[in-house]
Amino acid sequence: MKNIITIGLLFSIAIVLLVTACSGSSDDKKQVAGKEENKTIDPMQDKGIGPVESISLPGLIDQTMAVLGDTLFINKCTACHKIYKRKIGPPLVGVTKRRAPEWIMNMILNPDEMVMKNDAARKLLMEYIAPMANQSLEEHEARALLEYFRSIDADQTSLKEE
- CB nearer to ligand HEC: give 30 or 97: 97
Instruction: For residue 83, state whether it binds ligand HEC (rule: CB under 6 A).
Output: no
Q: Which residues in 1-20 contact ligand HEC (CB under 6 A)?
A: none
Among 68, 82, 89, which Cα is nearest to 137's? 68
Residues 120 and 154 sit within 8 Å (Cβ to Cβ)? no
Q: Which of 65, 83, 100, 115 binds ligand HEC (CB under 6 A)?
A: 115
Angle at 146 between CA 143 and CA 150, to 5 degrees: 140
CB of 14 to ligand HEC, least distance (A): 54
Among 94, 69, 74, which Cα is nearest to 84's? 94
Instruction: For residue 95, state whether it binds ligand HEC (rule: CB under 6 A).
Output: yes
Residues 153 and 83 sit within 8 Å (Cβ to Cβ)? no
Interacting residues with ligand HEC (CB under 6 A)? 76-77, 79-81, 88-90, 92, 95, 99, 104, 107-108, 115, 124-125, 128, 130-133, 135, 137, 145
